[in-house]
Chain A
Amino acid sequence: MIEVRNVSKAYGGKPVIEEVSVGIKKGKITSFIGPNGAGKSTLLSMISRLLTKDSGQVLIEGKELSDWKSKDLAKKISILKQSNHINLRLTVRELVSFGRFPYSQGKLTKEDWEQVDEAIAYMDLVDLQGKYLDELSGGQNQRAFIAMVIAQNTEYILLDEPLNNLDMKHSVQIMKVLRRLVEELGKTVILVIHDINFASCYSDYIVALKNGKIVKEGSTETIIDSAILKEIYDMDIPIEIINGNRIGIYFS
């Protein structure tokens, strides 16, 4: 499991994450929610060692991040950032094949390519796999990057707003893929997500951040609750039960 202990980060003296501690359960989907600027991306980046923390610890299976060898860590945990831009002209398949680097160090074997093809199929990209990234729409691009993370085949998968740019159909499809990864392959998924209803329908746990602190955490049923959401977002959000899911009506 992943354990975050008293992690802090400040930019130019201004605290962005303050003494945050949280445990991420293995084999579950955990969603980070909270308003813009709450510190969700910052926290996720620190958990995945993209950003150095000012203080505190992040333990992956009991071992502090900095004690891991980078190569081994890349087989354990993967991260996809909120926005991805690449300076190279790559096809979808080439991009996805980079996900195998931790295993192959650049010399892909037959099994590596099988995993690449599988990831491409998972993300519904078979028809687009020969296209260059700069010829794709925003949502298609996002799916290509998610496919790369899937090809990396790590136990822990961290995704920052993976539904960015996606239409409803593909949003649902990706959330279903994530559930499948958790249920069939026993992966652990952590994501940042803005739509509380996607969080409600697909995640097991929810961690709510605000102003650099965790304001609430718990199982999905306990967090998707009018009083608690009011505390997080300063908004009245009535909750209805539809097909057994708790849905927040936040449009008005």
Chain B
Amino acid sequence: MKVKLSFLALLAVALIVLFLFIHLGPNWDYALPRRLKKVLAIAITGGAIAYATLIFQTITNNRILTPSVIGLDSLYMLIQTFVIYVFGSMSLPSTNKQLNFFITVGLMIAFVGVLYKLLFKREGRNLYFLLLIGLVLGTLFGSMSTFMQVLIDPNEFLIVQGRMFASFNNVNTDLLVISIIIIALVAAYSTRLGKYLDVMSLGKEHAVNLGIPYDYIVKRMLVIVAILIAVSTALVGPITFLGLLVVNVAYQFMRTYRHSILIPGAILISIIALVGGQLIVERVFAFETTVSVIINFIGGAYFLYLLLREKKA
């Protein structure tokens, strides 16, 4: 186990070093800080998404779900489209990254809060009810975005389209710092709940039998997941399949149920996938595509494989 984790850590470090120094050229005092910032953004969002997805799968007891099923990605797109549709791409909420970031994060967390109220207002509603509502609302948001995208000016649409895919190319430094602080705080808080994760993955009834305050933990975990996903999506854009991909690879590679090993494993794999993907984008495709296209392509194929395998088993 230790060996596997060390291997992943080494690979991640090697890729990061490669990413930082490959073809650095004479203007390194300009390029290096930019690359460092990019790597930092990749590491923090990749880590947050992997961690959030792992927790989400554990509390829902399902290995083919990602937090985006509760509609966070579609809500992000809806907000971006709506702002451009109503105010135009040159308006303050669209161009001012800070403002946009806080509006987006605020609305996403408010959205999860509302879902929550629906779920826990009455007893007996289960987690799947929340997923169902999230799925329905996610589809609704998606259709509303498409509707507005059809109506707007084609030039404006290009800007919307640019936001459909995650990009690490112009991450705002201030926002990066804020995101790192928020994610670090949330992650630090969540370690207090870490000891429950293994037992939670046995399922609700076993967890309750073993003395876990189930509803209390699920509520807190969901908030943690929502904040992590909201912050990373608002920072770089949606990468729907990344979490699903890396968590499942982590399960297959680490071959354990222990979260103390799965969590660092998934985070490292996520960083490897993103840094590797970004390298390919920059060096092979010369920025012709974005890393989220590559990740979504691989992730989507892997997802199909998982579904087919589930069906056979």
Contacts and interface: CB of A to CB of B under 8 A. Distances in A.
Nearest to A102: B211
Quick one: which of B203, B210, B212, B214 has the most chain A CB within 10 A? B210
Contacts of A90: 257
B203 A87 contact: yes
Interface stretch (A29-37, A45-53, A121-129): A45-53
B124 A52 contact: yes
Contacts of A25: none
Interface in B98-131: 123-124
Given A52-B124, A81-B205, A89 B257 contact: yes
A168 interface: no
Given A52-B124, A106-B195, A88 B209 contact: no
A70 B212 contact: yes
A86 B211 contact: no
**Main SS class of interface, B:** loop
Given A70-B213, A90-B257, A106-B195, A49 B208 contact: yes
Interface string A52-68: 10000000000000000
B125 to A, nearest CB: 12
A89 to B, nearest CB: 7
A152 B208 CA distance: 13
A84 B124 CA distance: 21
Given A74-B211, A79-B209, A152-B210, A86 B195 contact: no
A141 B229 CA distance: 38
11 contacts: A49-B208, A70-B211, A70-B214, A74-B211, A79-B205, A84-B206, A88-B202, A89-B257, A98-B206, A101-B210, A152-B210
Interface of A: 48-50, 52, 70-75, 78-79, 81, 84-90, 94, 98-99, 101-102, 105-106, 152
Interface of B: 61-63, 123-124, 195, 198-199, 201-203, 205-206, 208-214, 255, 257
**A-B pairs with lowest CB-CB distance, top 9:** A74-B211, A71-B211, A102-B211, A88-B257, A101-B210, A106-B195, A70-B213, A70-B211, A50-B205
